[in-house]
């Protein structure tokens, strides 16, 4: 038992040291190159390596030449056993006001080592929230939306395209196979 505990401590320290010495900024540049192939660009950001995580401050996200959003803070924590990507204070391009709420407070993407084939999604805006998951094996995304009264009125045409959850659960859901 003592040996097992010792081994666990060794693994934990080793993982922490690898995370600290991981060239996170360069890994982010590699991710940027991959996103470029999909015409997604992150610009004007200040990249900060915090040791255990990587932060992008005041980033603008573009699709081709179209500005999609400004994000005050993007935090990437590659902790190998538990990886997260957090987007805080998202200001969506006004042009999307017909489709999306303008003030999304946060979006969180999580990946747990004990459930490697699933990615957990969650987020909230001023009066709505969503949670969902990406099923990597079946290549499917399912997002559950709980929409506030104000947003329900504003995006009624868009919500018509989503499916309603059973009454006891309430809200809407969106499914997409990729």
Partner 1 sequence: MNINFNRFLIIRYMVQLLVMVFIAKLIGMSLWFFLPKEGVQNHVKTDFVMPYMRYSIDDFKLKASQIKATVDRANALSIESIILKAIYRMEKESFIVVAPKNNKVKSKTIGIGEVFEGYTLKKVFKDYVVFERSYKQYRLYITKPKIDKRWKNVQPNPEPIEEDVRRISSGEVKQAISNPSEIWKNIGLKPHMSEGKPNGFKVSFVRKGTVFEALGLKVGDIIQGVNNKELKNNAQAFSAYQELKNAKALKLSILRSKTPMELEYEIY
Cβ 68 to partner 1 shortest distance, Å: 9
Using rule CB under 8 A, residue 2 touches partner 1 = no
Out of 38, 160, 163, 177, the only residue in the binding site for partner 1 (CB under 8 A) is: 160
Q: Which of 48-60 are b and which e, b meaning 16 or more Cβ less than 10 Å from the residue's Cβ?
A: eeeeebbbbeebb
Q: Select from 5, 85, 89, 95 the one that contacts partner 1 (CB under 8 A).
A: 95
Q: How far apart are CA 75 and CA 165, in angstroms?
A: 32
Q: Which residues have a Cβ under 8 Å from the Cβ of 68 and sit 6 or more positions away? A: 61, 62, 92, 93, 96
Q: Which is nearer to partner 1, 9 or 117 (CB)?
A: 9
Cα separation of 46 and 34, whole Å? Answer: 19
8, 29, 112, 113: residue in contact with partner 1 (rule CB under 8 A): 29
Q: Give the binding site for partner 1 (CB under 8 A).
A: 10, 13-14, 17-18, 20-23, 26-30, 32-33, 35-36, 39, 41, 43, 47, 62-67, 95, 98-99, 157-158, 160-161
């Amino acid at each position: 038992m003592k040996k097992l505990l010792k081994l666990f401590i060794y693994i934990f320290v080793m993982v922490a040291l690898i995370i600290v010495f991981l060239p996170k900024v360069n890994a982010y540049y590699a991710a940027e190159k991959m996103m470029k192939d999909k015409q997604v660009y992150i610009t004007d950001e200040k990249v900060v390596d915090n040791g255990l995580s990587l932060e992008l401050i005041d980033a603008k996200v573009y699709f081709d030449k179209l500005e999609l959003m400004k994000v005050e803070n993007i935090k990437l924590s590659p902790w190998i056993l538990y990886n997260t990507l957090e987007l805080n204070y998202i200001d969506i391009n006004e042009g999307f006001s017909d489709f999306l709420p303008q003030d999304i407070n946060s979006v969180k993407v999580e990946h747990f080592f004990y459930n490697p084939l699933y990615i957990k999604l969650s987020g909230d805006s001023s009066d709505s929230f969503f949670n969902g998951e990406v099923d990597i094996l079946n290549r499917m995304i399912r997002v559950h939306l709980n929409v506030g009264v104000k947003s329900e009125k504003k995006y009624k045409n868009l919500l018509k395209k989503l499916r309603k959850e059973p009454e006891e659960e309430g809200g809407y859901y969106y499914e997409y196979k990729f």
